[in-house]
């Protein structure tokens, strides 16, 4: 009888342990629209957050299909971080589909100094213009510090009991980032004033940070696929400006850039602009390392 009781007790203890270990005590449940935000959240929240993201690193964040599994991710989330400025037009459908009444939505563009805010009337003749400004601000690594500060603030508000932990992680990350900024500044110093061609209008924040001159884009207008007439125009621009590199996001087809390269001798560089956008790119710092090493090494 005693043996039976002890056996039952042990089973109960094991079951309780299993239940407790499977529960994420004190973790803030976070979903981010992009893997860049996800990485920053993980750096600050570490094991006190349960984080996930929607848009794959190798996926164009402008176009995300509405999958019910994404709604499931948002269903139990407490915080939802987004880039904002109209990048994630799909986000609201996911929020509505999740039916999550307690979801707090944080737009990380709030503290960003926006660029390319169109003046006057915006319409589709200008391509995929973002009326509130260019949303690709995370490609300026100084903006990552602003994003991290916003994330910290949201985590502190959600989980004040972990404030010291979050603040310490944030400081550590900012300190690492500051060191990398010095390194990246140094690498990009030689590129200052050089002409460059980009595929899509994602790079204004990066280019202005490092003093690059954008000679042109492979897309005739933002989001509009390359055309032969625009390619011909670009040949002349490249020759006149002396640009020697086309930088493009690795989720776009390199067919048109390669055609231009074969005519002009310009070099095509494909880079990820999100975490997990390429094998081995598993953090924002590694992503920026890859971008800066490739651009500075080829200009």
Of 123 and 161, the one with the shorter C-beta distance to other proteins is 123
For residues 292 and 187, the answer to whether their CB atoms sit within 8 Å is yes
| Distance of alpha carbon 209 from alpha carbon 130, whole angstroms | 20
Q: Which residues contact 27 (CB under 8 A, 6 or more apart)?
A: 47, 48, 49, 50
Among 225, 242, 265, 297, binds other proteins (CB under 8 A): 225
* Residue 75 engages other proteins in binding (rule: CB under 8 A): yes
DSSP 22-60: HS-TTPEEEEESSHHHHHHHHHHHGGGEEEEESS-TTS-
Options 38-46, 97-105, 146-154, 209-217: segment touching other proteins (CB under 8 A):
97-105
Among 107, 223, 259, 294, binds other proteins (CB under 8 A): 223
Minimum distance from residue 67 beta carbon to other proteins (Å): 5
Minimum distance from residue 174 beta carbon to other proteins (Å): 32
| Distance of alpha carbon 109 from alpha carbon 70, whole angstroms | 22
Residue window 233-262: x/- pattern of binding to other proteins, with contact defined by CB under 8 A? ------------------xxx---------
186 phi and psi, to 5 degrees? Answer: -65, -45
Helix (H, G, I), strand (E, B) or coil at 269: strand
Minimum distance from residue 94 beta carbon to other proteins (Å): 9
* Residue 274 engages other proteins in binding (rule: CB under 8 A): no
| Distance of alpha carbon 6 from alpha carbon 74, whole angstroms | 43
Minimum distance from residue 194 beta carbon to other proteins (Å): 29
Of 47 and 96, the one with the shorter C-beta distance to other proteins is 96
| Distance of alpha carbon 142 from alpha carbon 181, whole angstroms | 8
For residues 57 and 275, the answer to whether their CB atoms sit within 8 Å is yes
| Distance of alpha carbon 2 from alpha carbon 91, whole angstroms | 58
Minimum distance from residue 297 beta carbon to other proteins (Å): 27
28 phi and psi, to 5 degrees? Answer: -85, 130
Among 69, 121, 279, 280, binds other proteins (CB under 8 A): 69
Among 149, 156, 181, 224, binds other proteins (CB under 8 A): 224
* Residue 153 engages other proteins in binding (rule: CB under 8 A): no
* Residue 64 engages other proteins in binding (rule: CB under 8 A): yes
Q: How many residues make contact with other proteins (CB under 8 A)?
A: 28
Question: Which residues sit at the interface with other proteins, rule CB under 8 A?
Answer: 56, 58-60, 63-69, 71-72, 75, 89-90, 93, 96, 99-101, 124, 223-225, 251-253
């Amino acid at each position: 009888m005693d043996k039976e009781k002890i056996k039952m007790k042990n089973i109960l203890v094991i079951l309780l342990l299993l239940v407790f270990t499977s529960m994420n005590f004190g973790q803030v449940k976070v979903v981010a629209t992009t893997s860049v935000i996800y990485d920053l959240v993980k750096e600050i929240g570490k094991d006190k957050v349960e984080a996930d993201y929607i848009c794959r690193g190798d996926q164009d964040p402008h176009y995300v299909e509405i999958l019910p599994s994404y709604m499931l991710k948002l269903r139990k989330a407490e915080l939802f971080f987004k880039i904002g400025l109209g990048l994630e037009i799909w986000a609201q459908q996911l929020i509505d589909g999740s039916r999550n009444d307690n979801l707090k939505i944080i737009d990380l563009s709030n503290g960003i100094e926006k660029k390319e805010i169109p003046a006057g009337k915006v319409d589709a003749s200008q391509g995929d213009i973002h009326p509130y400004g260019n949303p690709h601000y995370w490609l300026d690594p100084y903006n990552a510090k602003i994003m991290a500060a916003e994330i910290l603030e949201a985590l502190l508000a959600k989980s004040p009991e972990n404030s010291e932990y979050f603040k310490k992680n944030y400081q550590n990350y900012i300190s690492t980032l500051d060191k990398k900024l010095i390194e990246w500044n140094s690498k990009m110093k030689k590129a200052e004033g050089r002409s460059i061609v980009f595929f899509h209008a994602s790079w204004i924040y990066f280019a202005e940070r490092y003093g690059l001159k954008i000679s042109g884009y492979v897309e005739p207008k933002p989001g509009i696929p390359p055309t032969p007439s625009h390619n011909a125009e670009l040949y002349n621009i490249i020759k006149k400006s002396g640009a020697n590199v086309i930088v493009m996001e690795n989720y776009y087809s390199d067919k048109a850039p390669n055609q231009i390269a074969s005519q002009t001798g310009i070099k095509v560089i494909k880079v990820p602009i999100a975490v997990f956008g390429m094998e081995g790119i598993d953090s924002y710092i590694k992503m920026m390392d890859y971008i800066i090493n490739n651009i500075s090494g080829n200009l």
